[in-house]
Amino acid sequence: MIKQTKKQLFVLAAAMLGFAAPAAAQDVVVDGTGVIPYVIDARNVVARSGTGLCWRTGFWSPAAAEAAMAGQFPVGCACDGDLVPAEKCTEVAAAPAPAPAPTPTADKVRLSADALFDFDRAVLRPAGMERLDQLAAQAQSLNLEVILAVGHTDRIGSDAYNQALSERRAEAVKAYLVSRGIEANRIYTEGKGKTQPVTGTQCDGVRGRTALISCLQPDRRVEVEVIGTR
């Protein structure tokens, strides 16, 4: 994750309103005091990814997940239940419902890897710029809260090198969106290195470096999610 100051993280958290999550994922309302280990919106509701996982901040730790409270229970009970003692999470599902809020919309855009970055590069290609132009136009039609940009790499190279490369790719997307009128403090970046490939094992039998680089192209990507309300 790109390092940000504590103040910047909480400005981001305050801006996020109603992060879209699967219907089965219940909103978790944090008391808002002390160290908050998860990204929260203006209602102090923990933001979730498109798959229902709670978004952690750089201040997350098992201890912080147990210390921060959501009602009378630790917030980690709902977000990381396997890390909090079971006796501290009794009846966590009975936590009070959050106050009514405008229905959010979240348009998720996965930018095509071969339209964004060449191998071992963090420079946007023209086709990638066109995709980001479309994304900026979508954002302008919303009451924009936040844009999440998560960079990824293929598996070639060391963990450390690919982590830094994924962060540079996410920052390249952010810089371009800022140049198109999006406020910088609305864009949250993170790098995942080579930990989340989309190619799976389909390139395992590929022989030759050039062929392998071509096969792994879908892994060299930035996933961008626009969050806001209409």
Length of the chain: 230
Distance CA(197)–CA(186), nearest Å, equals 27
Average pLDDT, the chain: 79
pTM: 0.54
Domains in the chain with CATH codes: 6-94 (no CATH), 104-229 (3.30.1330.60)
Averaged over 80-108, what is the pLDDT?
A: 67
Q: Taking the alpha carbons of 174, 168, 223, 120 in that order, is the dihedral positive or negative?
A: positive
Where would I find the H helices in the chain? 6-15, 62-67, 76-79, 126-140, 159-179, 209-215
pLDDT tens across 179-192, in order? 999 999 999 999 99
* Direct distance between the N- and C-terminal alpha carbons of the chain, in angstroms, rounded to an integer: 29
pLDDT tens across 5-41, in order? 443 444 444 444 343 333 345 778 887 667 888 888 7
Of the candidates 223, 145, 229, which has an alpha carbon nearest to the alpha carbon of residue 185?
145
pLDDT tens across 113-145, in order? 445 788 999 998 888 888 889 888 888 887 888
Distance CA(70)–CA(26), nearest Å, equals 12
- DSSP letters along 7-33, please? HHHHHHHHHB-S----TTS---B----
The token pair that represents 217 in the structure block: 């192209």
Predicted local distance difference test score (pLDDT) of residue 118: 86
